[in-house]
Each structure stands twice: as C-alpha cells, then as structure tokens.
Amino acid sequence: MTAETGHVMSTDTRSVDERNADVPRNYDVVVVGGGPAGLSAALTLSRARRSVLVVDAGEPRNARASGVHNYLGREGTPPAELLALGRAEVAGYGGEAVTGTVTVVERLDGDAADGRPRFGVTLADGRAVRARRLLVATGLVDELPDVPGLAERWGRDVLHCPYCHGWEVRDQPVGVLATSEFAVHQALMWRQWTRDVILFRHTGPALTEQQAEQLAARGVAVVDGEVAGLEVTDDRLTGVRLRSGEVIARRAVVVASRPATGPEPFASLAALGLRPTEARMGDLVLGERVEAGPTGATSVAGVWVAGNVAEVRAQVASSVASGVMTAAALNADLIAEDTELAVEAHRYERLFSEQAWSERHRAHAAEHADSDDPNPVLVAAAADLPPGTVLDAGAGTGADACWLAGQGWKVTAVDLSKSALERAEGRATRLGHDITWVHADLAAQPAPGSYDLVTAHYLCLPPAQRRPLFAHLAAAVAPGGTLLLVGHALVPNAPSPNPYPPAHGDSDSDSDSDDGHGHGHASDGHAGHGDGDRHSGASEPRLAEVAWDAADVAASLGPGWTVESAETRPRAGAPGHHGASHDSILRARRT
Ligand SMILES: Cc1cc2nc3c(=O)[nH]c(=O)nc-3n(C[C@H](O)[C@H](O)[C@H](O)COP(=O)(O)OP(=O)(O)OC[C@H]3O[C@@H](n4cnc5c(N)ncnc54)[C@H](O)[C@@H]3O)c2cc1C
C-alpha cells in the first residue's frame, strides 16, 4: 500500500476474468460420469433450474458396442451418438458438461460445520469446482476372464448380455465360456436366441447332475478343457481354441465379466465413508455396486448414485430411469435445504437483525427500569485481573461497561443496536464514566483494536453468526489478555430458561420450553436476573439455536490459548419462574 494514496499496489497483471477463473465455481450438483444415468439426471436437474456440471471421462460401459438396443425411440443408435444427443439436450436447459476425469471429491469442512454437505471436486487436469451435492454416475468397468483375445473382441463378438446382443447373433453358433456357476444360467439364457450353444467348461465348476440334465434337455453341448484363445478371421470371431489345440467354430463367445467400480473417484469417496460392496445374485458375486436407497441416496449425506454403479443389472433404459428418479429425489433434498436456509434468513431478519434488537430494547426500556447490576460471572472473573483495556461486546443497557469503568478499566463497548447504545451512553454519562461506544455488528466485522480483556455475555446468535462473532472476539484479545464468554448451555432434560416471561403472572406452562435468551448483540441478559425483554410480537430464538458448548468453543480457539475454564454451570441466582437453566462459561488466556 502506498502511504500517500492508500491504494493497494497489485503485481497481478491478469484480467478480472482470468483471476476469477481461479475461483472454484459453485454448482448445485456436480454429476460425476456422463453416461445415460448421469446425463438424464443432469437433464432433469437442469430442467429443474439447478446449476449442474457433468464431468465425463468419455468411456461408457457399452462404448465398444455398435448400437444401443432395447432403448425405445432410439433403438440401435450408436452409444456415442446417444450420449451426444443427451449432452445437447442438457446444454439446451443450461446444464454444463465437460470432458475430464474426477480424481478427488472431498467434503468441505468449513461448510460442513453447519451440517450441510458441501463438496470440492477436482479433475485430473487440476480443474476444481464446488458442489452442494454429488451425483456419482460413473458406471462400471467390465473385468474380463484372463483369456487372450477376449478384450480385443469385447462388445463386438465377445458378449455378456443376451438382451444387448442376442438378436444380432440369433441362430448363430455361440459359445459360453464358464468361469463360475453363472455359466449354466448364461447357456440356458442364450439358448433362447439360438439352438447352437456350446458350454466351454474352461475353469468353471463341475456340473451338477441337475445342470447336466437341464443343458442336455435344451440341446446345449458341453466341452471340457481349458480355452486357450480365440480364432479371428478378417476381423470376425470364427472359433474357440482349446489348450489341446482343437478349434471349435463359433460366431460369438459369451463371458461373465466382473463389472467393478473404477478407481476414480472411489479412493476419495472411501475417505468420505462410501465403499463399493459386492453385487450378488443369490450366492453368486456378479460384481460391485455402491449401496443406496431406492432414490439413490447413499449413506454419505449429500452423495447420490445412479445407473450401473448402483445396480449392476441396469441397462441403458433403466440407467436413464434411475438418473431421472435420483435427480428428482436430490432436487427435493435441495428444496428442503433451500427452505431451511430461507427460514434461517427469515428468522435472522426477524430475530437477530439490528431492527429486531432495537425493538426489544425499546420494549424493554418501556417496561423495565435498567438494572445497574453487572453480570456476576464478569464480576468474579474480573476480580483477579488488573484493570486494563476491555472490549465489552454486546453492551446492551451498559451495566457491565459502567461497572468495568467504575473498576478502573478503559472500556470500549460495542453493540449492534444504536438505540441500546444511546441508552447505555446516557447511563454512563449520568454515572460520570468515560466509555468509548461503538456501533458495529461483530458477527460481520472484526472488533476494533486489541484488548486485555474481551468479554461478552449472552450474545444469543444462531451458529452461522455465532462462529464468526466468537472468532472476531478471540482475535481482539491482546497477547496475555483474557477472553471471557458467557452464554446459554443446552442441557438435555433441564428446564430451559425463558427470558421472555409470560405477561402479568401467566404461568410457566405458557412459555415455550425451547425459548432461548435472545439478548444477542444487544445484550443485557445478566445471569440470574431472569428479567429479559418482553418483546413485541415476533417469535423468539430457540434455546437450541443460540446455546453453545464451552468445550466446543474452547476447541475452536486453536493453538496459542490457555483455556482456564470451559464449563457448563447452573445459572447463578434464583431460577425464578424460568425454571432451572445453565450457562456456558469460557475463560481463556492468549499466550
Ligand atoms: C458391451 C456392452 C454392450 C451393452 N449394450 C447395451 C444395450 O444394447 N442396451 C442396453 O440397454 N444396455 C447395454 N449395455 C449396458 C449399458 O452399457 C449400461 O447399462 C449403461 O451404460 C449404464 O449407464 P451409466 O450411465 O450408469 O454408466 P456408463 O454408461 O458406463 O457411463 C459412465 C460414465 O462415467 C464416466 N466416468 C467414470 N469414472 C469417471 C470419473 N472419475 N470422472 C469422470 N467420469 C467418469 C465413464 O467414462 C462413462 O462415460 C451394454 C454393456 C456392455 C458392456
């Protein structure tokens, strides 16, 4: 910064767009895998006006097949053509799709603290984006039996699924390569498409009497001996070669592949707690899958799956269907979260904004004379501290600030509510105290200066505001200084304090047992008084949302602090008609 002008000198010569390109974009949903499942989910989500990014490595399971069959309306379309049509349809509704491989997905801790899932997604080429939800539609990768030549002919005349390829090789000589019990099932299946089926025993188990009878009854021949390779002539499969050297003419070979989830992004999904499990048909292991509920929700909050990765038997049509169904359920989940966020914002505006606090203060002033008593926890804590500089955050009616000034402290008192500050200043003037009054929202901005003591009492705020507030307060403590925070504790089964007592002798039973204090930024809720604001109409903060745990806050301070006490205590003074209540008290010294 230049001393004369105050302008920030930047050495970054990039354009704004280039600099913005470094900031990970935020999407409602990142879909990993742009096959039929991922693209149909993206279509549904983009039509639902969600921001969607599909990242696709471009290797769908059926890539080697010449056409997609059993797909109504586009029967026989080459797989790549079908996906290109899908991408264009997604783009038509504003969805984005890029080619790339997602290598890392991670939960973003900062955001996870509010319990809402948020993810970072990194591609192999280093690109990074963020997402509220992840939809994993990475399909499966077919592991083939270890016989030379199978991989080269896969999807062409080395086949697995009669519904995908049976019609194309109807009435042709077909061989079934046995590697497991499944081979008998396959041979009997393929017999539906052709009379000429041979079961090559290869490494498969011995046939039971019943299996041998079934195969014989359906005219399926059985050939013993291991298969050594395939015969290919003019780029066409022509036969199966046994270890003995014998070649048996065949037009297609059926194998049992083992479809498995690929390596990426499963290594990092495992770190989130999502691991593939075996997909079974009875005792037979067919391959892998990621377990999910009927709507595609997995056990990891915010991670959804669709298509083959969730169901090994899914075909293109059923993968498309699962993409649509999962997208709709995921969208409903986002709608629920959007509603929660909106309610929070709405509540915040009604309960925690400056206007809300000012209204409470006015109502309080109209009904109560200000108490001169300081918070007893503050009195106890300050007793062993030599007076120095102090920041009183949430000064409210100014009782604490005035008491501290009377003890010789040089006081800076901050409050969100201007009207509270005016009232507190009036009190200080009457008492002859010289206090610096600052109108500021310490949840939104750092505290001015640094102090020997930073103290705040019953700043009742919801977590999203409380976290930055406490961070700002901690940052304002000078080395060797003390942080003293007092607030409400949520003690299971303990009667909750209701700082807004029912009017004119109403009984306790009228009060909402969940109500919290609510003095918040503009605090005068001295423990033990139990005479909080009666306020004008708006519903009150719930104890559950404004209470905090001293140990949690102590842990959040990190290194450089000595925690002198972090405890939950019954509130000092008579419980009055609010019932029993507890305070959270944190006292820590900056080292
Ligand atoms: C040879 C063969 C032929 C078939 N023929 C038919 C048929 O005719 N009719 C039919 O209905 N079904 C057929 N199927 C089944 C069909 O291929 C699957 O049901 C379908 O492809 C599943 O769709 P999906 O979207 O779940 O997965 P996929 O289509 O496999 O798509 C998954 C996508 O995710 C991508 N991906 C994987 N990992 C990552 C990552 N880390 N980052 C980014 N992208 C990633 C992959 O590259 C791929 O593009 C056939 C299968 C095979 C093996």
pLDDT tens profile 292-350: 999 999 999 999 999 999 999 999 999 999 999 999 999 999 999 999 999 888 888 88
**Mean pLDDT, the chain, integer:** 86
Residue 7 pLDDT > 50, yes or no?
no
Ligand 1 within 6 A of CB of 69: yes
pLDDT of residue 268: 94
pLDDT tens profile 426-477: 999 999 999 999 999 999 999 999 999 999 998 888 888 899 999 999 999 9
Pocket test residue of 138, 168, 254, 322 for ligand 1, highest count of atoms within 8 A of CB: 138
pLDDT of residue 370: 62
pLDDT of residue 494: 64
pLDDT of residue 539: 57
Ligand 1 within 6 A of CB of 522: no
Backbone angles phi, psi at 528, to 5 degrees: 95, -20
Which of 375, 373, 340, 366 is closest to 517 using CA atoms?
Answer: 375
For 408, residues 6+ apart whose C-beta sits below 8 A from its C-beta are 387
The answer to whether 174 touches 199, Cβ cutoff 8 Å, is no
Ligand 1 within 6 A of CB of 261: no
Which of 168, 141, 129, 118 is closest to 57 using CA atoms?
Answer: 141
Q: Per-residue pLDDT averaged across 55-74, rounded? A: 97
Domains of the chain (ranges, CATH numbers): 23-139+259-339 (3.50.50.60), 145-256 (3.50.50.60), 356-590 (3.40.50.150)
pLDDT tens profile 463-476: 888 999 999 999 99
Ligand 1 within 6 A of CB of 123: no
Residue 504 pLDDT > 60, yes or no?
no
Residue 156 pLDDT > 50, yes or no?
yes
Q: Per-residue pLDDT averaged across 543-567, rounded? A: 92
Rounded CA separation 39/285 (Å): 28
Would you give the DSSP letter of residue 469?
Answer: H
User: CA neighbours within 13 Å on the CB side: how many for 236?
Assistant: 6
pLDDT of residue 2: 33
Backbone angles phi, psi at 550, to 5 degrees: -60, -40
Residue 581 pLDDT > 50, yes or no?
yes
The pTM for the full model equals 0.78
Percent of all residues in the chain with a pLDDT value above 70, rounded to a whole number: 85
pLDDT of residue 577: 34
pLDDT tens profile 94-106: 999 999 999 999 9
